[in-house]
Amino acid sequence: MSYFNLDDLEVYKLAESFSDEIWFLVSEWDYFAKDTVGKQIVRSADSIGANIAEGYGRFHYKENRNFCYFSRGSIIETKGWLRKSKIRRLITVEQFDAYLKNFKLFISNLMLT
């Protein structure tokens, strides 16, 4: 039995905040960028928190752990989309570097979950 609510987990709060940042970033892009890279990066960023939530709701520790692995996969996927966004000049190098700091927080927090 967990002693925390999902909304109390730091890693979940980070994931939700991050996916909202990505959403608002992509919402300002032109149609072509939104329809190609934008949809993919929003889905992968949203998947980080969604997998944490689904794993948290599972009864067994091993199932929760598997969803943490899925979340970590979504983090790496999002990082790849951000790299493409940087190369395609949809985000700045500074924005990319700031997002990399978030990934380090996610990974370290997922290891503790």
Total structural domains within the chain? 1
pLDDT band at 58 (very low <50, low <70, confident <90, very high): confident
**Does any domain span residue 1?**
no
**Does any domain span residue 17?**
yes
Please report the pLDDT score of residue 16 as a whole number: 94
Q: Whose CA is closest to 55, among 45, 67, 44?
A: 67
pTM: 0.86
Please report the pLDDT score of residue 1 as a whole number: 45
| CA dist., res. 95 & res. 2, Å (int) | 36
**Does any domain span residue 23?**
yes
Domain that holds residue 19: 7-112
**Does any domain span residue 39?**
yes
Burial 72-83 (b: 16+ CB within 10 A, else e): bebbebbbebbe
Asked if residues 53 and 6 have their Cβ atoms less than 8 Å apart, the reply is: yes
Q: What is the CATH number of the domain that holds 98?
A: 1.20.1440.60
